[in-house]
């Protein structure tokens, strides 16, 4: 048996084309979506994520207001910039690329963004809305995973979904989304305190690996025929690559192909969906969907 590989890149491209059409219609109505993208410092992974996000915005016909700050920027300076962007009516969304330098309190920065401009969906108001099932911005990666499952025809009603990882940006919001009545999965959320991880993952109809640990999910941890979503993006040193590294997921992909029913690759699985959902959220911000 060989698993069907879910082409996250192709699904994301389709969504991005749909968004581009919606953007051009919005522009005809006189509104031009604009996302402020704040980068503090020069972390290479952050630089490459921000570059990809800006390229996607441009391709969708949306503007970005780039704010590149030195790693020495103080927390007060950053909070002041965010306050200005909150007031700026030409800016619809605000994205602060994480992680921030250690002298800046990330939670304080996230909480400073106006909830109606919080396209990452990390603000406590949006996190709370997700918890109680009210409309609001949903974090892009979990949002993208739900769309990926739907577009790939994975049955979720009554399915057992097991998530490995409980971060605020992936695992926890994804657990809430999958447990929503319209998706209707039964969710198990695993973490480093989970005893006998394999006993949970082996019972998953849908297995989502979001631990940031390369190869932590082996083939023997997957139920035959399961849908496997690999969120992990790990940089492994590789001298054969010009960059000196290659990207790999949390799942032992080659071995998993023999067991899983469907599987996302890394790269070109979940990553492109995250960017597509950022565009979707920016469009929501421009329309004032969650004011």
- Residues that are catalytic: 53, 97, 120
Q: Is 166 in the site for ligand NAP (CB under 6 A)?
A: yes
CA angle 122, 128, 134 (to 5 degrees): 110
If the CB atoms of residues 12 and 283 are measured against ligand NAP, the closer one turns out to be: 12
CB 232: neighbour CB atoms within 10 A? 24
Tell me which of 252, 257, 271, 285 binds ligand NAP, using CB under 6 A. Answer: 271
H helices within 31-121, ranges in order?
44-59, 75-87, 106-112
Q: Is 216 in the site for ligand NAP (CB under 6 A)?
A: yes
Q: Is 194 in the site for ligand NAP (CB under 6 A)?
A: yes
Q: Which stretch binds ligand NAP (CB under 6 A): 36-44, 51-59, 113-121, 225-233?
A: 225-233
Q: Is 43 in the site for ligand NAP (CB under 6 A)?
A: no
If the CB atoms of residues 27 and 268 are measured against ligand NAP, the closer one turns out to be: 268
Residue 265 CB, nearest distance to ligand NAP (Å)? 11
| H and E: helices and strands count for the chain | 10, 11
Tell me the C-alpha distance between 282 and 256, whole Å. Answer: 35
Q: Is 211 in the site for ligand NAP (CB under 6 A)?
A: yes
Tell me which of 6, 39, 50, 169 binds ligand NAP, using CB under 6 A. Answer: 169
Q: What are the distances in angstroms from CA 233 to CA 70, 147, 185, 212, 255?
A: 25, 19, 25, 6, 18
Q: Which stretch binds ligand NAP (CB under 6 A): 35-43, 57-65, 162-170, 239-247?
A: 162-170
If the CB atoms of residues 91 and 266 are measured against ligand NAP, the closer one turns out to be: 266
Tell me the C-alpha distance between 181 and 158, whole Å. Answer: 10
Q: Are 139 and 122 in contact (CB under 8 A)?
A: yes
Residue 187 CB, nearest distance to ligand NAP (Å)? 14
Q: Is 261 in the site for ligand NAP (CB under 6 A)?
A: no
Q: Is 139 in the site for ligand NAP (CB under 6 A)?
A: no
φ, ψ (nearest 5 deg) of residue 222? -110, 135
Q: Is 141 in the site for ligand NAP (CB under 6 A)?
A: yes
DSSP 200-213: HHTT-SEEEE-S--
Query: Is residue 58 packed enough to be buried (19+ CB in 10 Å), middle (13-18) or exposed (0-12)?
Result: exposed
**DSSP bridge partners of 242:** none
What would the two tokens of residue 77 be? 């300076």
Q: Is 113 in the site for ligand NAP (CB under 6 A)?
A: no
**DSSP bridge partners of 160:** 186
By three-state DSSP, how is residue 278 classified? helix
If the CB atoms of residues 91 and 253 are measured against ligand NAP, the closer one turns out to be: 253
Q: Is 142 in the site for ligand NAP (CB under 6 A)?
A: no
The residue ranges that bind ligand NAP (CB under 6 A) are: 141, 164-167, 169-171, 190-194, 197, 210-213, 216, 231-234, 270-271, 274
């Amino acid at each position: 048996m060989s698993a069907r590989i879910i082409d996250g890149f192709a699904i994301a491209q389709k969504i991005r084309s749909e968004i581009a059409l919606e953007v051009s219609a919005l522009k005809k109505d006189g509104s031009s979506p604009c996302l402020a993208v704040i980068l503090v410092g020069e972390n290479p992974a952050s630089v490459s994520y921000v570059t990809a996000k800006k390229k996607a915005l441009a391709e969708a016909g949306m503007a970005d207001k780039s704010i590149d700050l030195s790693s020495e920027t103080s927390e007060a300076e950053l909070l002041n910039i965010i306050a200005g962007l909150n007031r700026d009516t030409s800016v619809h969304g605000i994205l602060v690329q994480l992680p921030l330098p250690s002298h800046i309190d990330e939670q304080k920065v996230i909480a400073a963004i106006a909830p109606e401009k919080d396209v990452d969906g990390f603000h406590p108001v949006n996190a709370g809305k997700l918890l109680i099932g009210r409309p609001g911005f949903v974090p892009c990666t979990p949002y993208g995973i739900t769309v990926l499952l739907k577009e790939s025809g994975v049955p979720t009603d009554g399915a057992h979904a097991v998530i490995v990882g409980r971060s605020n940006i992936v695992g926890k919001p994804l657990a809430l989304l999958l447990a929503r009545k319209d998706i209707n999965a039964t969710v198990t959320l695993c973490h480093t305190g989970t005893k006998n991880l394999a006993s949970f993952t082996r019972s998953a109809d849908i297995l989502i690996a979001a631990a940031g640990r390369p190869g932590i999910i082996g083939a023997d941890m997957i139920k035959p025929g399961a849908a496997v979503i690999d969120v992990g993006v790990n940089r492994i040193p590789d001298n054969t690559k010009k960059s000196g590294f290659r990207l790999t997921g949390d799942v032992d992909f080659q071995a998993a192909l023999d067991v899983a029913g469907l599987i996302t690759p890394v790269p070109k699985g979940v990553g492109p969906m995250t960017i597509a959902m950022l565009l979707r959220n920016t469009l929501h911000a421009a329309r004032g969907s969650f004011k």
